[in-house]
A and B are shown apart, each in its own frame.
Chain A
Amino acid sequence: MAENNANGHAIDMRDAFGQTLVELGKQYPNMIMLDADLHTSSKATMFKNAYPERFVQVGIAEQNLFGISAGLALSGFMPFPSTFAVFATRRALDQIAISICFPNLNVKIPGSYVGLPTSRAGASHNCIEDIAVMRALPNMRVADPADGADLRAIMRAAAEVHGPVYFRIARLAMPPIFGEDHKFEWGKGVTLREGRDVTLFGTGIMTTFCLNAADLLVADRISAEVVHLGSIKPIDSELIIDSVTRTGCAVTAENATINGGFGAAVMEVLGENCPVPVQRIGVRDRWADSGGIKELFTHHGMQPEDIAAAARKVIAQKQGVRV
């Protein structure tokens, strides 16, 4: 489990989000924050306190949240409309698609409360389909950070590029993988650990789980390569192909549904370029539940042990064994 990782001091992703908002607010005078009655949960409050004149409260009205953001972007502002990922990508999908993405407006959309670790709110609040939905929209960029430094780098990169961006913020403290000087580049992945037998592709908090799985596989004398793909769209096809050409099989891991999401994006690249055995780790076509965080990851088969088991399976498949 992520919080048991002893690599360093765990940083709450939401704190990194709030702090980076304040930093960007200083750098970009045209940045404006909009909220739909959730700022203390998302920690957008930090921006509200720093720049109250650039904070717009729209109440519990997500469709209006994104429509107003479009109007502000059309007037030269860089809006950050903030709400839980479910309300952004389910409730207001049409507004995000047609008012924002279609005209390629400069709106940056943070999705809070993603995947399994979202307190005990249950299926209605655990966003598992946002990666699949957002990456289907033309012009939209999609990113899922591994740790606090990655989130900061993604937010900076989001502000630097013109156009709509969707990025995820897990409600979890993650051990640091990257240093403070970490840079994020759209369409570029990072090889965190080199290996020969299998590639573990992770995005978001699941990259830490992949690293832990790679540790577990050492006992079986399996050398696993771990690649973090924070940029889900555009995705680093070159790195994916290069790694798998050497290892011959892959496992993907995402804190979301496997249907149409990150694993599917990796498989699209592999299927079109170098088909190899692949297993996907993620929520398997079911709703997320209320429950403890560890309990939920176990229940949905998304623990490092599950990733390691999937790795053994694809290695066997690679060797021609039917599993």
Chain B
Amino acid sequence: MQISPEKLSELNEMAYQIRRLSVEMITYAKWGHIGGSFSMAEILSTLYFYVMSVKPEKPDWGSRDRLVLSKAHGSPALYAVMALRGYYPIEKVYTYCELGGFEGHTDMARTPGLESSGGPLGMGLSVAVGMALAMRFKENVRGRVFCILGDGETNEGNVWEAAMSAAHYHLDNLITVVDYNKVMAKGFVWDEMAIEPFADKWRAFGWDVVEVDGHDLPELAEAFHRARWVLPRGKPIVVIAHTVKGKGVEMAEFNYKWHTHAPDPATADAMLKELARAYGRPEQGYSKLGEPEVKENFYGGE
């Protein structure tokens, strides 16, 4: 598999923009999940700008690939990547958590191109299994269903019901990505509820497993290429992407306190400048810094 330097540069730029927009919308909304949005920035950038076959100008195109975000609290990153991909104007992300705007978790009725609605953890993989089965019934052999799971949500029994059925029905058109960022809402995965040996669990359920550094774009691109074209042999495929919760901003990295926490405008400004420096960009802070704040404060947090 070859990936050009230009494409890699584009994917890197999009990962930066996903993070930047996530901070913008979470700060403006005064609510949201920074940690789980940042950890899948490269995963979403690679899927939407390199892997998935979609037509943003025609979101219901019958032969499209589909993506189910099971960890639906990561919606800011998804809203961002879909705006960048051209499903709707970028300005629309500022309706996040507004009455009538983009939902705090996912609501497909309000977001063009969104494939499912969610929020409660552990439910998305079943929906993806249904979509993958439907592709089989419709004899669509090129299409793929992607499902992004959080690591913590694999505590849910529903995930393993779905995993069992995907193997039973030989759904090798289903590619699950686990954003294994090691941190749950209130602590580390191994402290809250251990999931290791994780890859072995998937193998035991009849899946093919690929493990990657989920922030390494060439590795991700290679893994998805293999999952799509090389590995299918009657078994569903899971890409376990080892990531860092909050990756990109030091105070949020591996820090469960930033699971649900909105920065105040000054903190957001500092975060965005830190991001810009890390990506070697001119310093660009919070776009709405200094604007009068009219919304009630609800930072969520712990």
Contacts and interface: CB of A to CB of B under 8 A. Distances in A.
B109 A104 contact: yes
Given A63-B123, A67-B126, A76-B134, A98 B117 contact: yes
B110 to A, nearest CB: 10
A67 B134 contact: no
Contacts of B115: 74
Interface in B107-128: 107-109, 115-120, 122-128
A68 B133 contact: yes
Interface in B80-139: 107-109, 115-120, 122-135, 137-138
Contacts of B43: none
Contacts of B133: 56, 68, 71-72
Contacts of B118: 98-99
B185 interface: no
Contacts of A56: 133
Contacts, number: 100
A66 interface: yes
Contact of A64 (B108, B120, B126): B126
A61 B164 contact: yes
Given A98-B118, A104-B109, A63 B129 contact: no
Contact of B165 (A64, A69, A79, A102): A64
A216 interface: no
Contacts of B125: 67
Interface stretch (B1-9, B155-163, B265-273, B277-285): B155-163
Contacts of A58: 161, 165
B117 A71 contact: no
Contacts of A71: 68, 116, 126-134
Contacts of A76: 134
Nearest to A56: B133
A99 B134 CA distance: 16
Contacts of A66: 126
Nearest to A101: B117
Nearest to B72: A98
A52 interface: no
B134 A102 contact: no
A67 B138 contact: no
A67 to B, nearest CB: 2
Contacts of B108: 103
**Range class of the B interface residue count:** 20 to 34
A251 B299 CA distance: 50
Residue among B124, B137, B164 with the highest chain A CB neighbour number at 10 A? B137
Contacts of A73: 130
A79 B115 CA distance: 17
Given A64-B162, A98-B120, A103 B126 contact: no
Given A56-B133, A75-B135, A67 B157 contact: no
B123 A103 contact: no
A77 interface: yes
A79 B129 CA distance: 14
B98 to A, nearest CB: 18
A75 B138 contact: yes
B123 A67 contact: yes
A75 B107 contact: no
A70 interface: yes
Given A64-B162, A75-B130, A94 B120 contact: yes
A61 B126 CA distance: 11
Contacts of A74: 115-116, 127, 130-131, 134
B127 A67 contact: yes
Contacts of B124: 67
Interface in A40-95: 56, 58-59, 61, 63-64, 66-77, 79, 94-95
B6 to A, nearest CB: 35
Given A64-B162, A67-B125, A67-B162, A72 B130 contact: yes
26 contacts: A59-B168, A61-B165, A63-B126, A63-B157, A63-B161, A64-B129, A64-B158, A64-B164, A64-B165, A67-B123, A67-B126, A68-B129, A70-B116, A71-B68, A71-B131, A72-B130, A72-B133, A73-B130, A74-B130, A75-B135, A76-B134, A77-B134, A98-B118, A98-B119, A99-B117, A99-B126
Interface of B: 68, 107-109, 115-120, 122-135, 137-138, 157-158, 161-162, 164-165, 168
Given A59-B164, A74-B131, A99-B123, 17 more contacts: A59-B168, A63-B157, A63-B158, A66-B126, A67-B124, A67-B125, A67-B158, A69-B130, A70-B130, A71-B130, A72-B133, A74-B127, A75-B134, A77-B134, A77-B137, A94-B120, A102-B107
